[in-house]
Amino acid sequence: MEKLIITAAICGAEVTKENNPAVPYTVSEIAAEAKRAYDAGASVIHLHVREDDGTPTQSKARFQECIDAILRLCPDAIVQPSTGGAVGMSDLERLQSTEVTPAPEFATLDCGTLNFGGDEIFVNSDNTIFNFAKIMKERGIKPELEVFDKGMIDIAMKADRKGLLVRPLHFDFVLGVQMTATVRDLSFMVGSIPAGSTWTVSGIGRHQFEMAAAGIVMGGHVRVGFEDNLYIEKGVLAKSNGELVEKAGKIAALLGREIAGPAEARRILGLKSR
C-alpha cells in the first residue's frame, strides 16, 4: 500500500473560538496551527482564512499572507486553498484563493450543491464547477474533487468528459454532511471513481476517526482537523490540529501504514515538485 497522506483542515469557515478556543483566526494563529499539524505528520494543509475577528474571507491578500506565513514555518508543506469559502460567497470571491503568487499546486473543487445544515445551502451549479475546473487547469492547479455524495462524482466525471480535468483524479469524500459516514457508503464511493484515481476521506464530527481508520485500511488517504471536528475524544476538545493529526498517525501506525512526507505526497498525488 502507498504511504498515507494526512491532510489537516486547520480552520474551515464555519467553526469558531466559541466552539473551541484553539480555532485559528489571525495570520500568526493560522501559521502556528499549520506548523503543529505539519510537525505531527500532515503534508497537506487545507486552508480557509479569516479576518482577525473570525469572519471567513476569500480575500486574495489574506490568502497570500497566510500562505507565505505557513511556508515560512513549513517550507515544503502542500498548501491547498479552499475555493469553497463559506456558504453564500460569490464565485468570483471564492476564486480569489487561486490568484495568489505563485499559483497554488493544489486547491479544492466542490462538485455539487448540497444541504449544509439548517437553512444553509452550499451552491455549486454545473457551470460554476466547469468554470472553476477550467480556470484551475489554465493556472496549472490540481483540483481535489470535493464530493459530498455519489451524484457529485458523476458531475466531476462530466467535467472530465469535457476535458476540464487532468488524470489521475484525486477525490475527497466528505462524509457526514449530506451523505452518511459509514464504511458501506465509503466503499460505494471508492468503487464509483475511475481506476487510477487517488482519494481522501473526511469524516465529519464524531465520524472523523472512524472514517480515518477506514481510509487507512482501504488504501485511501485521510483528512482531519478543526474544520471537520473539534474533539480529540468524546466530550474532550482537541488542543490543536496537531493533536488530531497525531491521533490519525497513531491509528495508522497501529495498522502498519506509514505516513507520507510532502515529497512522497507530491509523487502520490502527481503534483509538480517544488
Distance from C-alpha of 79 to C-alpha of 72, rounded to nearest angstrom: 12
Binds ligand KMH (CB under 6 A): choice among 7, 57, 82, 124: 82
Going by C-alpha positions, the residue among 214, 242, 273 that lies closest to residue 40 is 242
Query: Which of Zn ion, ligand KMH, none has residue 146 at its interface (CB below 5 to 8 Å by kind)?
Result: ligand KMH
CB of 14 to Zn ion, least distance (A): 9
Binding mask 135-174 for ligand KMH (x = CB under 6 A): -----------x----------------------------
- Give the CB-nearest residue to ligand KMH: 84
Asked if residue 13 binds ligand KMH (CB under 6 A), the reply is yes
Binds ligand KMH (CB under 6 A): choice among 10, 37, 86, 129: 86
Stretch that binds ligand KMH, among 80-88, 184-192, 209-217, 248-256 (CB under 6 A): 80-88
Binding mask 104-133 for ligand KMH (x = CB under 6 A): ----x-x-----x-----x-----------
- Cβ partners under 8 Å of residue 124, min gap 6: 110, 111, 112, 113
Footprint on residues 65-104 left by Zn ion (CB under 5 A) = 82
- Cβ partners under 8 Å of residue 218, min gap 6: 186, 187, 190
AA letter at 104: P
CB of 96 to ligand KMH, least distance (A): 13
Burial label, 102 (beta-carbon count in 10 A; 0-12, 13-18, 19+)? exposed
Stretch that binds ligand KMH, among 29-37, 84-92, 159-167, 196-204 (CB under 6 A): 84-92
Stretch that binds ligand KMH, among 35-43, 78-86, 96-104, 256-264 (CB under 6 A): 78-86
Going by C-alpha positions, the residue among 15, 143, 145, 11 that lies closest to residue 70 is 11
CB of 202 to Zn ion, least distance (A): 9
Asked if residue 200 binds Zn ion (CB under 5 A), the reply is no
118, 88 contact by CB (below 8 A): no
CB of 247 to ligand KMH, least distance (A): 21
The values of phi and psi at residue 50, to 5°, are -130, 160
Asked if residue 43 binds Zn ion (CB under 5 A), the reply is no
Going by C-alpha positions, the residue among 80, 156, 97 that lies closest to residue 124 is 156
CB of 253 to Zn ion, least distance (A): 27
Tell me what percent of the chain is helix, strand and coil, each rounded to the nearest 5.
Answer: 40, 20, 40
| 3 state SS of 137 | helix
CB of 141 to ligand KMH, least distance (A): 13
Query: Which of Zn ion, ligand KMH, none has residue 86 at its interface (CB below 5 to 8 Å by kind)?
Result: ligand KMH
156, 115 contact by CB (below 8 A): no
- Cβ partners under 8 Å of residue 138, min gap 6: none
Q: Which residues of the shown chain bind ligand KMH in the complex (CB under 6 A)?
A: 13-14, 82-84, 86-87, 108, 110, 116, 122, 146
Q: Which residues of the shown chain bind Zn ion in the complex (CB under 5 A)?
A: 82
